[in-house]
Amino acid sequence: MLAVEENVQLRSSQYALIIDLTDLALPGQPIVHIMCNTAFMHWKNMIAHHNPITPVIQNLGLMNQYLIHRSIDFGLLHEAKQLQHLDMHLSWLLHKASSFDFVTEIAGGKTLLVGEGNLSFALSLAEIPKIFPSQLVATTFEAKSNLSREAAANAKGLQSLGVTVLHGVNATKLAAALGSWKFDNIVFQFPHVGSREPVEGRNPNFILVRDFLKSAARQLQPSGKVLISAVDSPHYHGAFQFDEAAEAAGFKTPASYPFELSVFSGYEHTMTNEDESAIDHHRKFRTWVFRR
């Protein structure tokens, strides 16, 4: 049980053990009533986020529920109690594996922010007490001379807090602005090219994300990660094709977690085009986390 708790990388042998145990069920035993109970349904309805480990934990939880009821059927009450303990461990593990604390991740190292628009996201991060502003580098695609009044004011605010601010930084050509500088986190909030014109015959936003990931890979510390937040909708998933972009840039399939806008006070999302806003008409957002 402890191995399950301590080692998120569950080994298939552990999973197989539980499946083997279910084979102990006697042939012909009615199992329908076993399946229809609230605990089982609780596990079944659990939302498995797009994270490679969560479906495994969820399956273990379901199997364990089955075992608990089999044990009770056979009068193995002590064993059923132990399995209920395992149920608590698995629930805790699922919770851990499905959550992602954006702020804690940023607080844990040096972070580069690209495509920052009006820089209000960078400013909201810099004002969070557990984040050291000197560990942040905030960049805009736009040149300094092209910044909006709001962006220019936020840039000043960031610099006064000790954040490094750079302008005219192309997220697909980071080395040109940052040389060999390495980061623990590289963040692109709501990437968007502001055009629908296909590039290489593909959605231009897929190309932006793919080329950004390739460039970011060269600026990461060995255990560093890239975070990309986007609207959680089939339309945006289809546009970005994050799994394919990750593979093309040498990252594992990304896990994704809900992005809670309300955590970042003062963050006023900017649009690439006046007529297109990713946030205004949506309520659900996610952060995709890319690791090598």
Ligand X SMILES: C[S@@+](CC[C@H](N)C(=O)[O-])C[C@H]1O[C@@H](n2cnc3c(N)ncnc32)[C@H](O)[C@@H]1O
Interface residues toward ligand X, by CB under 6 A: 114-117, 121, 141-142, 170-172, 189-193, 208, 269-272, 278
CB of 93 to ligand X, least distance (A): 32
Q: Rank residues 87 and 116 by Cβ distance to ligand X and give the closer one.
A: 116
Residue 198's Cα: distance from chain center in Å?
27
Nearer to ligand X, 48 or 279 (CB): 279
Rounded to a whole number of angstroms, the minimum distance from the CB of residue 117 to ligand X is 3
User: In the complex with ligand X, which residue's Cβ is closer, 70 or 192?
Assistant: 192
**Cβ of residue 115: shortest distance to ligand X, in angstroms?**
3
In the complex with ligand X, which residue's Cβ is closer, 186 or 278? 278
**Residue 104 beta carbon to ligand X: minimum distance, rounded to whole angstroms:** 20
Q: How far is the CB of 221 from ligand X (least distance, A)?
A: 21
Nearer to ligand X by Cβ, of 10 and 194: the residue is: 194
- Starting from the edge strand earliest in sequence, which strands make up the sheet with 183-189, in order? 164-166, 136-139, 111-114, 183-189, 220-231, 285-291, 255-258
Q: 3-class DSSP state for residue 256?
A: strand
Report the residue number, 84 or 194, with the smaller CB distance to ligand X: 194
CB of 207 vs ligand X, minimal distance in Å: 10
Name the amino acid, one letter, at 87: D
Distance (Å, whole) CA 207 – CA 192: 10
Concatenating the DSSP letter of every residue in 5-17 gives: HH-SS--HHHHHH
Cβ of 223: how many Cβ atoms within 10 Å?
9
Adjacent-strand bridge partners of 164: 137
Q: How far apart are CA 292 and CA 222, in angstroms?
A: 8
Contact 230, 241 (CB under 8 A): no
